[in-house]
Amino acid sequence: SAAPATADAPAAPAGPGGPGGGYTPAQLVKAYGLSGLTGGNDGSGKTVGLVEFDGFNQSDVNGWADHFGLGAIPYKVVPVDGGISSVGDPLEANMDIDAVAAFAPKASQLIYEAPNTDAAWTDMMARIASDDDIDVLTTSWGNGESCASSSLISASHDSFNQMALQGVTLLSASGDRGAYGCAYAGDYTQQMVYPASDPLFTGVGGTKLTTSDSAGTYSGEAVWNNSNDNSKNDRSAGGPSNIYPKPDWQPGTGKARMVPDVSLVADFQAGGLSVLNNGQWVSAGGTSLSAPLWAGYIALLDQKGGKRLGQLDATLYGLAAGSGASTYFHDVTTGDNGTYKAGTGYDMCTGLGSFRGDALGDALLGGNTPPPSTDFGVTVSPASGSVTAGSATTATVSVSAGTTPPSSVALTASGAPSGVSVSFDPSAVAPGKSSTATFTTTASTAPGTYDITLTGTAGSATHTAHYALTVTAQGGTKPTLTNPGTQTAYQNRATGLTPVATGGTTPYRWSATGLPKGLAINSSTGVISGTPSAWGNYNTQLTVTDANGKSATVSFYWFVFLAS
């Protein structure tokens, strides 16, 4: 039998408690304040896409999950351009899979695998955008901005823009070489890693995490920097982009996009994540750990909120600029990455800092929400659908079981517009079961997109999910608008664009929002012209409407650079 504890008994050691010298998933949940979020969410029903150019060991991943009692991780390999013919070093992919599962063990993982070539990278991004199967994308792979070809960056950005329009949250490791993103190729000019520098992405830097006890209680963080020589390796990457101007949502007086945006644990020497690799336990890290950990966190929030969070940066910077910044972030003020120093507020070592999980999650989901339910949850898949007036569409409403589930949950809908009815078959289900929701419209239903609330009720407990129903008008075809792709221009130099639309019924009417300052659109012809008066990164939305009131909209980025 165990001896009773006494006041003189030594305290459990602080720091990493996992095999190989890394932190355990439970310790990281504790350190980053995720106990409330993980108490009722595990990523179920959400999908994280992983970018991989080397393979993983299934036995390592399964052994890791078994060791930490997480059960089987739901994953599927999606080969692109032939996929991976043989596994070289599995550590990167093993770590990525484990890191997502550390916070969201039941989030589905689509592991996109391709040969390590520029063409395969471009094809992979196009495939991910075309599939539209993921809620979150995380990549630990990237290129220095000058090491990546302009065609790769242009084509990739178009794919990322498509993903952003789908509501996918895009996360990228900022890199492990300080301000020298192309140092791996012997280029020691200062530059960032792409795609972390793309404003569509949240770039994730790295920290050295310290904890005060064996449970993982947070003690502090410093900039990750293990580099003791001129190799530029093993340090949180950050600095100004050589490609993208500073977005409106970033602080400071600089003219360039700054990286990273946020950070998380990366220091594998002080304690990264315990990972099983080729049958051996190691402490794995780098910003290649930080980014997929963030991806697992966002998957939890997507599950809790019942929707894709989408683009994070503007919201994150807005929260950090308010009086409650210290409620949402651990501001990392100690250390440097060899070029830039950490400081109060935003810095180009760790960005805004690391998350205080539950508090930041509440803010990202729209306010201080109650703790996760211990009775049941409600989700809908897909979360949106389109239907022609006079017809119907369906979605699956799933009721998950908490720790103390009721025997039955009644399903109802609210917020449907005139002419739309919602029915459930069955109308009540036991937790763990699902129902088919049918959204039926009449011929007179007005075109538009409607937010319909689906509510599950058991006694006094209610939980909701949201479904976005788009109704289109009967008869004829809607116009088709060609996306012109990313546009570039220079301040104080005339520029223009002639969009192309087909189909529908002419004449067309044109409109646009988010145009660069100094440009205007001709509402009859659609021609956009003028002289940009201010440099910046503009998210432009272009709409064409035909004579029957049917419209098409595309969104693209228009980058205005300072004239040389």
Residue 211: left if φ>0, alpha if ψ -120 to 50, beta else—which one? beta
E-strand stretches of 212-272: 218-223, 239-245, 256-259, 262-265
Q: φ and ψ at 531, to 5 degrees?
A: -125, 115
* DSSP H or E segment with residue 520: strand 519-521
* DSSP H or E segment with residue 157: helix 150-165
Half-sphere exposure of 522 (CA within 13 A, CB side): 11
Q: φ and ψ at 414, to 5 degrees?
A: -145, 160
- Return the residue matching tokens 């790295």: 206
Residue 20: left if φ>0, alpha if ψ -120 to 50, beta else—which one? left
Q: φ and ψ at 318, to 5 degrees?
A: -65, -40
Q: How far apart are CA 79 and CA 137, in angstroms?
A: 16
The residue annotated as part of the active site, out of 96, 98, 261, 267, is 96
If one counts every other C-beta atom within 10 angstroms of the C-beta of residue 429, the result is 20
Strands 428-429 and 448-458: unpaired
**516 to each of 159, 182, 250, 560, how far by Cα in Å?**
22, 31, 18, 7
Write the DSSP string, 288-313: HHHHHHHHHHHHHHHHHHTS-----H
Q: How far apart are CA 117 and CA 152, in angstroms?
A: 10
Written as one letter, the residue type at 294 is W
With CA atoms as reference, report the closest residue to 518 among 506, 532, 497, 529: 532
Burial of 440 (0-12, 13-18, 19+ CB in 10 A): middle
Contact 216, 29 (CB under 8 A): yes
3-state DSSP assignment of residue 388: strand
| DSSP 8-state symbol, 326 | H
Torsion 281-284-288-291 (CA) sign: positive
Task: State the Cα angle at 274 between 272 and 280, rounded to 5°.
Answer: 125
Q: How far apart are CA 32 and CA 34, in angstroms?
A: 6
Q: How far apart are CA 319 and CA 313, in angstroms?
A: 10
Written as one letter, the residue type at 111 is I
The residue annotated as part of the active site, out of 52, 60, 92, 123, is 92
Spacing of C-alpha 564 from chain mean position = 35
The residue annotated as part of the active site, out of 197, 263, 288, 354, is 288
Q: How far apart are CA 233 and CA 224, in angstroms?
A: 11
Active-site residue 96, yes or no?
yes
| DSSP 8-state symbol, 493 | S
Which amino acids are annotated catalytic?
92, 96, 288
